[in-house]
Structure 1
Amino acid sequence: MYLKTLLLLTLLTSPLLVLSQERESLLSRKVTLNLHDTSIEDILKRIETEDFAFTYSAEVFDVKKRVSLNVKDETIGNVLEILFRGQGMECQQLGNKLLIRKKRVPKETVPKSDTTKRETTSTPPIKTSVQKVVSPVIEKEREETSVTEAKKETVTSAITEQSSKSTIGNSSPSTEALVLENSRAEYYQEERKQTKTVVAAYENYTLASLIFVPIYEVHPRVMLPIEFKGEIVTEEVPQKEKEPKPEKPAKDNKFRMNLAPTVGYSEIGDRDAIVLGGHLVYNPTKNFGIGVAGKGFLTRNEPDTELGADYSYSGGYGGLLLEATLFPDKAFHLSFPVVFGLGEVMYNSLQPLTGLNTIEDQRTIFVFEPGAYLEMNVIKYLRVGFGATYRDASSANLKYQSTDQPILDKNGLDGLSINIMVKFGIF
């Protein structure tokens, strides 16, 4: 008795009911965890090993709930009780898996109450003996027969008395006939009543094998529970494990766009050059963007002995931009833009005082420029990036008009640019 009471108190007070006869093998294992602001799903994955795993449904409890946990050499059972305290969960070991589900309440035995006893005593049971069922009917028939015989004797005596009176001469023949007819009518009327009474007595009975069983109309409210003396033991049948449904990835319908000005340094024709530009990009996803980009460049002026003035290289290009981004939600991430475009390069001399621009030669170029940037998320709508791009330009073949000597060969515009970028937009 003491052991049963102790077991019942343990089951009622434990926040996480563990239903397994082999719980010593897995739930008694000890783990050490020091996690801060971590989801329950990640904590369960930390506890899992190669020889066992947890199984559960994401609809039973909030797997994304974030908690902090710091335990040292604590059993897995106690760790689960801490995680699901107050949530009415239980854990059951099935082979090398631990099933986490909602606690199930065992069925209770049928209570015995005074009301049931009173209903049992007030409602007579079905008689199983032929003698007990038929005997009341026989007794009733005997009583009715005795009453009928007494009435017959009364009617007979009345008829005899009337006949005697007629013999004496106290009544006329018509009066004697009337009295006799009334006596006969009363007799037959009484016989009919007795016949109807007997028929009504057997109206609710039917002849069954060996016994007469009364037929009652079924009323569910008055049906009594079967009295059972003993304890009802329920054995829980283990159910098949239900694999959690894979979560469908949510559709990303967020609008994203950014504008990024850039400034950089490069070398063109063995001269230092400054490169200014920017791009406008639409991002259908966080990891990919498509847009337009453009850049302009200008080298420092150097004297040209053949032309007798200071000349420089200048020009620009623009076109389609494709950009891939890795780990966009991290504080530091990488982006890889690629530009396909057309542009123009010229060899000219610009006099700032007079505004006179003398162009010696100019060419149309096709540019392919890949690059790589290391970006940092500063605030929600601002990013800063530092990186490099390589400019591959074709047909940059500039010549002197007078001598047809080359000024800049076809590969003279190719080169590396070091850039700083600032992005403004919705990411």
Structure 2
Amino acid sequence: MKKQVAFLGIILISAFAPLMTQAQNSAEPETLFKKGDPISTENLGLFIAPSFGFTQMDGAGAALFNLRAGVSIKDQISFGGYFSTSMNDIKPQSETVPNVYMDYWTAGGFAEYTLNASKLVHLTFPVYFGYGEVQMDNEIGDTGLGEANFFLVEPSALLEINLLKFLSLNAGAGYRIVGNMSYRNFNQSDLSGITGYVGLKFNLF
């Protein structure tokens, strides 16, 4: 019986050996990532973009520093995060307490669409969405006047000029839309408004 089983095994191996060899020699199946090949970054870019903003809040002038960083896809669609903070002492017109000023900051994300990034001069449209805070303060610290938080959306339009392959200059404006909030003698309508921007964009790769 054992001899018969061994003989049957030899016959099966002989019959299927050509099929096994053919399968090994056939083309490998297509896969998204090939073994040993790095993931292609040809269409991806990383950038950082500092800028200065100039606006009004409750009738007072405000200078802002804005920093954003993100990833671009085919130099057309970008997304990432940002942080913006006031640089000067903002003094709202409605404030009645003397010798105090307002601090302002926001942070969140952004999405951006760029038209013809390879052209010397082109347009780009970032939209910011984030969370922010305003607080009255003085030179010695918190005055106990509280604070207020809010959400905002700010669509913007910038004219961008390619200075170098990795560096561009931009200028434009955005409109800050602040969600429902109330603080001291002003509300979201006094905090919303147009911001003018001028800045640089560094393409890291």
State the one-letter code of the partner of 1:350: N
**Alignment match of 1:412 (pick from 180, 190, 195):** 190
Residue 295 and residue 382 in structure 1: after superposition, are their counterparts in 2 closer, same or farther (change >3 A)?
same
Shift of 1:415: 0.5
Shift of 1:411: 1.4
Residue 396 and residue 380 in structure 1: after superposition, are their counterparts in 2 closer, same or farther (change >3 A)?
same
Name the Cα RMSD after superposition.
Answer: 2.2
Residue 305 and residue 383 in structure 1: after superposition, are their counterparts in 2 closer, same or farther (change >3 A)?
closer
Aligned with 1:296: secondary structure? Answer: strand
Residue 356 and residue 319 in structure 1: after superposition, are their counterparts in 2 closer, same or farther (change >3 A)?
closer
Verify: 1:397 aligned to 2:179, yes or no: no
**Alignment match of 1:253 (pick from 42, 45, 52):** 42
Task: State the partner residue of 2:147.
Answer: 362
Shift of 1:295: 0.9
Contact 2:72 2:79 (8 Å CA) reproduced: yes
Shift of 1:259: 0.2
Write 1 or 2 for the structure with the bigger share of helix: 1
Task: State the partner residue of 1:294.
Answer: 83
Instruction: Deviation per CA, 1:189-232: give whole Å up to 9, x if none.
Output: xxxxxxxxxxxxxxxxxxxxxxxxxxxxxxxxxxxxxxxxxxxx
Task: State the partner residue of 1:349.
Answer: 137
Verify: 1:283 aligned to 2:72, yes or no: yes
Residue 358 and residue 323 in structure 1: after superposition, are their counterparts in 2 closer, same or farther (change >3 A)?
same
Aligned with 1:319: secondary structure? Answer: strand
Shift of 1:264: 1.3
Task: State the partner residue of 2:165.
Answer: 380
Unaligned runs of 5+ in 1: 1-250, 400-406
Task: State the partner residue of 1:228.
Answer: none
Question: What are the within-5 Å matches in structure 2 for residues 142-291 of structure 1?
Answer: 253-291=42-80
Residue 358 and residue 334 in structure 1: after superposition, are their counterparts in 2 closer, same or farther (change >3 A)?
same
The separation in 1 between residues aligned to 2:90 and 2:134, in whole angstroms, is 14
Unaligned runs of 5+ in 2: 1-39
Contact 2:123 2:159 (8 Å CA) reproduced: yes
TM score, norm. by length of structure 1:
0.36
Residue 330 and residue 359 in structure 1: after superposition, are their counterparts in 2 closer, same or farther (change >3 A)?
farther
Instruction: Deviation per CA, 1:100-143: give whole Å up to 9, x if none.
Output: xxxxxxxxxxxxxxxxxxxxxxxxxxxxxxxxxxxxxxxxxxxx
TM score, norm. by length of structure 2:
0.73
Task: State the partner residue of 2:203.
Answer: 425
Shift of 1:293: 1.2
Contact 2:60 2:93 (8 Å CA) reproduced: no
State the one-letter code of the partner of 1:339: Y
Residue 377 and residue 409 in structure 1: after superposition, are their counterparts in 2 closer, same or farther (change >3 A)?
same
State the one-letter code of the partner of 1:360: L
Task: State the partner residue of 2:22.
Answer: none
Shift of 1:382: 0.5
The separation in 1 between residues aligned to 2:93 and 2:158, in whole angstroms, is 36
Shift of 1:267: 0.2
Shift of 1:304: 8.1
Shift of 1:356: 2.8
The separation in 1 between residues aligned to 2:92 and 2:176, in whole angstroms, is 23
Task: State the partner residue of 2:112.
Answer: 323
